[in-house]
Amino acid sequence: DGGITQSPKYLFRKEGQNVTLSCEQNLNHDAMYWYRQDPGQGLRLIYYSQIVNDFQKGDIAEGYSVSREKKESFPLTVTSAQKNPTAFYLCASSDLYEQYFGPGTRLTVT
Amino acid sequence: QKEVEQNSGPLSVPEGAIASLNCTYSDRVSQSFFWYRQYSGKSPELIMSIYSNGDKEDGRFTAQLNKASQYVSLLIRDSQPSDSATYLCAVNIRNGQNFVFGPGTRLSVLP
């Protein structure tokens, strides 16, 4: 089955720890994205990558980092510098026309 | 002015009625338009794409695009309680890989 997988589904961390969220796709899409969604809010773009070994900051990149070493993978690290990391994190990928989302990772930091 | 605007709702319709969801966008050169459905606690699911002026129908869903008015809508016929969700409008700016999302409209279909 083609699709986007994110792991884990739920993640709990203590404040001050870095945490890495996984995103893998087998749709052969060039572009991949990370969004953050807070309760009752819309999507906010964190980072995106249009090609391997290249990525750009989105609207809320502070406190986050990414890498794109393989076409299929786009992991997101939430660093201790991110002031309010508790949120629902969504990974997406696209061809030139349509964007599809993974199931999301719900991160809780206490 | 926000790039993609939607009424936040909630929009409430009775079961069996037509639900009408609206979206306006600011960039005149936008090429592609999308509707996503997002159930509470889940990720967005692409339900309709539309690229040219006019109507596009898929089952109970009809997307309508008017580029001159910079307006795109989604009609859901014979609304069901299972259609209760937040509907996100998205625009692909300049046919690249740059997607801009509206804030979403929450739809509630009442049995």
The pair phi, psi for residue A52, each rounded to 5°, is -55, 140
Task: Please write down the long-range contacts of A57-60, taking CB distance under 8 Å and 24 or more positions apart.
Answer: A58/A33, A58/A34, A60/A36
Q: Sorting pLDDT into bands at 50, 70 and 90, what band is B34? A: very high
Q: Percent of chain A scored above 70 by pLDDT? A: 98
User: pLDDT at position A9, please?
Assistant: 95
CA nearest to A78, candidates A108, A48, A49, A33: A108
**Considering only CB atoms, which chain A residues are within 8 Å of B45?**
101
Q: pLDDT tens across A47-95, in order?
A: 999 999 999 999 999 999 999 999 999 999 999 989 999 999 999 999 8
Q: Summarize pLDDT for B71-106 with one digit per residue, the tens.
A: 999 999 999 999 999 999 999 876 566 899 999 999
Closest C-alpha to A15, from A64, A74, A75, A83: A83
Q: What is the dihedral of CA B30, A37, B11, A98, to 10 degrees?
A: 30
Mean per-residue pLDDT for B18-32? 91
pLDDT of residue B1: 57
Q: Tokens in use for A101? A: 């989302």
Q: Which of B5, B7, B33, B97 to mutate to test the interface with A (most CBs of A within 10 A)?
A: B97
